[in-house]
Structure 1
């Protein structure tokens, strides 16, 4: 009976440790995804209207920025797409979505949405 209690205690400890590590991995990946999207939003802000208005309305895969693609743990698991939608004349909604594989193999994603106005100011929101 004591051996059974000991085995159950160890099994529970291992399961709790795995869940804790998965939570840490998710938090770390959310931070990386946010940094990648923030980089893309900042690069968008320096583009002119002609460039932005020509963006495709379908999801377009983008290359990871060089600062991230140099890290094998990021380059092999993360991908980013951009979707642009014409809200009305002179205003575009741009959505960046980063997807990655989590510790347990699940695919997760996060998105930033920003509005880009011709001759306007730009801001973003996180979804």
Structure 2
């Protein structure tokens, strides 16, 4: 769905960004492409065992989750009722950026690029709102 929206947006702004090319990389492939660690394999095996056990006992409409080092059943509606968001100025995101940028690359440069992208996104949204307001008049 996101890919179609991006394609639509790029086609409508083709005259502004003629040099750009977009490559779609499926994130699920990136996850499947690397072998699981022993911790991942153990965690997945445990989740699978518990899921089968709960399904055989008649539990439906729920997922297996871990909370405070205990496996629990969570109703699907409760699990999907709130969207979690990563704070882009928080410790978690900074650690992710430090890991993904790599030791040889400049972290401050990557942070600057992130801020530029965020500013560009805000400017695009501002232009969209101005256009929307102007079309209503």
Fold shared per TM-score above 0.5: no
Larger radius of gyration: 2
Q: TM-score normalized by structure 1?
A: 0.23
Higher strand share: 1
Q: TM-score normalized by structure 2?
A: 0.21
Higher RCO (C-alpha under 8 Å, 6+ residues apart)? 1
Higher helix share: 2
